[in-house]
Amino acid sequence: MRLGVNLGYWERSAAAHDMVAIAQEADRLGYDSVWVAEAYGSDAPSMLAWIGALTERIHLGSAVMQIPARTPAMTGMTAATLDTMSGGRFRLGLGVSGPQVSEGWHGVRFTSPLGRTRDYVEIVRSVLRRDRVTHAGPHYELPLPDGPGKALKLGSHPLRDEVPVYLAAVGPRNLALTGEVADGWLAIFLSPEHAREQIDVISAARRAAGRGSGDDPMAGFDVVSATPVVLVDDVRDAADHLRPYCALYIGGMGSREQNFYNRLASRMGFEKEAATIQDLYLAGRHREAAAAVPLEFIDETALLGSPRRVVQRLRRYEDVGVTTLAVATGGRMTRDQATATLAVLAELMPDRVR
């Protein structure tokens, strides 16, 4: 299992400089990859280009670039550019986002997310291979049949004709699609106690699609877990650092009718608590929602406590099949705390970094 770092996205300009500094430290320490997110603020490709220009070896991943934000051809162009300019270090993570962002921010209907993702990945791969891009739909039709457009191929020559594609997936059907068409899974709120079922869905889909190697359908597939690490000896105090983050996703990242993270918490056995968190969050009572997040949920999905406890519990991720543990550095963590955390893990687990 490799160590990476997940920087999330920034809200204030100073935080952007902190993210670059954390990425540079991760590169110096020999971490495998750095991942950057986007929602409706900072965008992932710009941050990755900046980080890529100021680092040397660390791989650059989008976690994620939003599918409704760009045409698949534009994403193929961006992937080719980032990969070439970074010397082959780019990893393309994609996600459909949710209906609130897709329809409210991008003006794209949140319909048929699985079919749209499948078409999207097919077109992106075609762009990177420098095929003349044609697609018969149903979600994308290239070229349009009733106008002057013609089938085109990428005008530049990328460094690689295959860039690893990762999908952010939460529900069972999306996990199956990930196994079928992607090279990796971007997991959030992964619990080693519950992840085996999720990874089994991916594995079965890969086997059915003839992917993998020999008898191992998961060969060559990267399971990336974005996992907060809080090195505070008292587990309850450590969990308090993550309560607002958990409440935002379980309670507010989506509508009452459609919140993928709320459903995930429910499937993990926290159905009653997830409903309470959502009720409080949607009522604007954010502090109460954060206080309602169970310690057990946070401890299952994050690494909390002393360095010794964290390293012992970190091995559960490797045992269940995680191949990249991306240390999430958001929340209340400062730049110095983030870099110190990365240094402690690199020292305690030197075999997990270069």
pLDDT value of position 319:
95
The number of residues making up the chain comes to: 354
What are the angstrom distances between the C-alpha of 270 and each of 32, 240, 274, 310, 327?
Answer: 33, 18, 6, 23, 24
In angstroms, the CA 234 to CA 127 distance is 50
Q: Please, how many CA atoms are within 13 Å of residue 82, restricted to the half-sphere of its CB?
A: 28
Q: Is 277 a residue whose pLDDT tops 90?
A: yes
What are the angstrom distances between the C-alpha of 250 and each of 171, 187, 210, 278?
Answer: 14, 15, 35, 6
In angstroms, the CA 193 to CA 300 distance is 7
List residues bridging with 132 in a β-sheet: none
pLDDT value of position 351:
87
pLDDT value of position 331:
67
- Name the segment(s) of the chain with CATH classification 3.20.20.30: 2-231+303-352
Q: Is 30 a residue whose pLDDT tops 70?
A: yes
Q: What is the pLDDT of the chain when averaged over all its residues?
A: 95
DSSP code at position 350: G
Average pLDDT over residues 207-217: 94
Q: How many CB atoms lie within 10 A of CB 282?
A: 15
Q: What is the pLDDT of residues 280-296, one digit of tens each?
A: 999 999 999 999 999 99
The enclosing H or E element of 35 equals: strand 33-36
Q: What is the pLDDT of residues 308-354, one digit of tens each?
A: 999 999 999 999 999 999 999 866 788 999 999 999 999 988 888 88
Q: How many CB atoms lie within 10 A of CB 153?
A: 11
CATH for 2-231+303-352? 3.20.20.30
pLDDT value of position 37:
96
In angstroms, the CA 108 to CA 250 distance is 23
Q: Which of 329, 229, 304 is closest to 24 using CA atoms?
A: 329
Q: How many CB atoms lie within 10 A of CB 71?
A: 14
pLDDT value of position 12:
82
Q: Read off the tokens for 312.
A: 């012992």
Cis peptide before 45 (omega within 30 of 0): no
pTM here is 0.96
Predicted confidence band at 105 (pLDDT cuts at 50, 70, 90)? Answer: very high
pLDDT value of position 13:
80
Residue-wise DSSP of 216-228: BTTTT-EEEEEEE
The enclosing H or E element of 187 equals: strand 184-188
Q: Read off the tokens for 84.
A: 């070439």
Q: What is the pLDDT of residues 113-151, one digit of tens each?
A: 999 999 999 999 999 999 999 999 899 999 999 999 999
Average pLDDT over residues 175-200: 97
